Amino acid sequence: MIVAMDIQIAPAGMADFHQILADHPRYWGERDLRSLHLSALVREFGSTCLVARAEDGIRGYIFGFVTPSGTGYVHLIATRDDARGTGLGRRLYAAFGEAAERHGARRLKAITSTGNTGSIAFHRSLGFDAEIVDDYDGPGRTMAVFRRVLPLDVSGG
């Protein structure tokens, strides 16, 4: 558990999951990504699905899991509209990296659409390599695939 700036990062529970879905526009704006929010992730991989809680609710979250081959896969990461630019995304990634390492991960992986330039820049700032992979998510669905080794240094350098 990481505590910083009145924000506590801890494993997500089902109540958190339902709150995130209820507040979906605060994290994703006009994009409807509710179908990517899988309750099974929180139920089965709770120790690597993390929320950043403050007095005023959930400011951000990262949902992921560790594969049998030792990859910490980040399925979703989001910060609430009023928490962007505060370093919370970096702190969530740091907490996920630590949790993934405890479960045997040696590397991290994430994906995004090639048009999500903010996500691409964010992951590169964390030291991820980005590769554009044609048909990654099905025919005609080119994705940016991020990979990096652990440990994760989120100091920005």
Residue among 86, 131, 125 at smallest CA distance from 109:
131
pLDDT confidence of residue 1: 46
For 59, counting Cβ atoms within 10 Å of its Cβ (0-12 exposed, 13-18 middle, 19+ buried), the class is buried
pLDDT confidence of residue 152: 85
What is the tens place of the pLDDT at every residue in 75-109? 999 999 999 999 999 999 999 999 999 999 999 99
Select from 3.40.630.30, 1.10.287.130, 1.10.10.10, 1.10.630.10 the CATH code of 2-107. Answer: 3.40.630.30
Instruction: Enumerate residue ranges in the chain where pLDDT < 50.
Output: 1-4, 157
